[in-house]
């Protein structure tokens, strides 16, 4: 009996050397979302890039399930809400749960804890994916309401199209550009698809709103080249303004648009643009930064065929219910192994940032 007691005591207090150590925690997270970018899209990107590609250099690969609370085929609003807020919701929702009540996003939590926040997209800044990180509406098409919520969010840096929703407003005739200026934003605008704004010339006490188009940014097939260079500028700007860390979201928005259009040339150029942007991030990110690369859903059921040059075959013009890959690189990357719900991305990021 005494022997049994001492054996039990020893087993209870002896450390388990097989236990996994707690994950490393990053100071910063960069979340890259290739809108509509499924495995076949990535296969296309790999065929068009020189090895080792940026995704080949990522440490971890997992898979996420993309369905929404209302459909097996999600839309970008619901899937972005799942990743941004950790809640499955209905298609067209932005930052609200299935009961239409607001849910808190990872960017809002980061801001509450003193981190800097920002995003850069190749869509209007009020579109479905970015909006889920700062807005709370039932309908993703409520662009003017979403624009006002972006002004209220105090985002430190944002880059993308859609200046019209801040100036030519039908709902209230207000000028949100003037409101941004009153909130200490530097406002930059350009209609040049190759624009590269120089953020280093802006005082660090100012936030940045950079509009790359009045409405939709141009396609990569129409000469748009700003994404890789502006990602570099945005990374430098948000890091210079941060003393506690940052959360940055980057969206390759038009991978989805090209897939919906079943346009081979457009899609190939968008994938090349996405890979160029990833090269920039991998080159510039420091050892305290976690990079996550994923998609909100797959679009167009594409397959890649051909003998020498890749030929894209489109199976539809709509989203699919396929799982999509999640690549991770940096401290905490191992948390993204396996198969999980898209809502888990929010939970993992929240845990790793200690929010």
SS3 of 1-28: CHHHHHHHHHHHHCCCCCCCCCCCCCCE
Structure tokens at 35: 């809108």
Report which of 179, 159, 158, 176 is spatially closest to residue 167, judged by C-alpha positions: 176
In order of 50, 107, 217, 263, the CA distances from 346 in angstroms are 32, 10, 28, 32
Contact 212, 159 (CB under 8 A): yes
Residue 136 assigned to a binding site = no
Contact 32, 277 (CB under 8 A): yes
Residue 99 assigned to a binding site = no
Residue 41 assigned to a binding site = no
The dihedrals phi and psi of 299, each to the nearest 5 degrees, come to -130, 130
Told to judge if 53 belongs to the known catalytic residues of this protein, a careful annotator would answer no
User: What whole-number distance in Å separates Cα of residue 324 and Cα of residue 36?
Assistant: 9
Residue 296 assigned to a binding site = yes
Residue 256 assigned to a binding site = yes
Angle at 141 between CA 135 and CA 144, to 5 degrees: 65
| Helices within the chain (DSSP H only) | 2-13, 39-48, 76-85, 106-112, 128-131, 143-153, 164-167, 176-182, 226-240, 254-260, 264-284, 343-353
Residue 127 assigned to a binding site = yes
User: What whole-number distance in Å separates Cα of residue 89 and Cα of residue 103?
Assistant: 10
User: Cα–chain-centroid distance for residue 73?
Assistant: 19
Exactly one of 27, 49, 68, 76 is catalytic; which is it?
76
Helices and strands per DSSP (H, E), number in the chain: 12, 12
Structure tokens at 89: 């919701």
Structure tokens at 24: 């490393």
User: Cα–chain-centroid distance for residue 287?
Assistant: 20
Phi-psi region of 255 (alpha: psi -120 to 50; beta: other; left: phi over 0): alpha
Residue 113 assigned to a binding site = no
Binding site residue list for Zn(2+): 35, 256, 260, 296-297
Binding site residue list for Mg(2+): 35, 127, 129, 251
List the catalytic residues.
76
Binding site residue list: 35, 127, 129, 251, 256, 260, 296-297
């Amino acid at each position: 009996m005494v022997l049994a007691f001492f054996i039990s005591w020893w087993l209870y207090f002896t450390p388990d050397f097989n236990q996994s150590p707690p994950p490393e925690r990053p100071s910063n997270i960069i979340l890259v979302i290739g809108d509509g970018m499924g495995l076949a899209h990535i296969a296309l990107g790999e065929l068009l890039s020189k090895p080792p590609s940026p995704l080949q250099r990522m440490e971890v690969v997992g898979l996420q399930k993309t369905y929404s609370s209302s459909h097996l085929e999600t839309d970008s609003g619901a899937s972005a809400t799942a990743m941004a807020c950790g809640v499955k919701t209905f298609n067209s929702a932005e930052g609200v749960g299935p009961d239409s009540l607001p849910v808190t996003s990872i960017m809002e939590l980061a801001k509450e804890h003193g981190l800097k926040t920002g995003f850069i997209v190749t869509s209007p800044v009020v579109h479905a994916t970015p909006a889920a990180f700062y807005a709370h509406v039932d309908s993703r098409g409520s662009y003017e309401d979403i624009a006002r919520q972006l002004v209220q969010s105090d985002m430190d840096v944002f880059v993308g199209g859609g200046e019209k929703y801040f100036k030519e407003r039908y709902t209230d005739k207000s000028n949100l550009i003037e409101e941004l200026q009153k909130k200490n934003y530097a406002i930059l605008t350009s209609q040049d698809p190759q624009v590269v704004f120089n953020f280093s010339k802006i005082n660090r006490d100012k936030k940045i709103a950079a509009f790359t188009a009045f409405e939709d940014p141009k396609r990569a097939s129409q000469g748009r080249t700003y994404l890789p260079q502006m990602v570099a500028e945005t990374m430098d700007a948000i890091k210079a303004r941060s003393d506690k860390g940052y959360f940055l979201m980057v969206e390759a928005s038009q991978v989805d648009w090209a897939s919906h259009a079943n346009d081979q040339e457009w899609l190939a150029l968008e994938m090349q643009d996405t890979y160029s942007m990833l090269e920039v991030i991998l080159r510039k990110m420091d050892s305290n930064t976690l990079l996550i690369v994923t998609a909100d859903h797959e679009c167009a059921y594409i397959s890649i065929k051909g003998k020498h040059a890749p030929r894209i075959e489109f199976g539809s013009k709509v989203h699919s219910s396929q799982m999509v890959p999640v690549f991770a690189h940096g401290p905490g990357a191992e948390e993204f192994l396996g198969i999980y719900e898209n809502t888990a991305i929010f939970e993992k990021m929240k845990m790793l940032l200690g929010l």
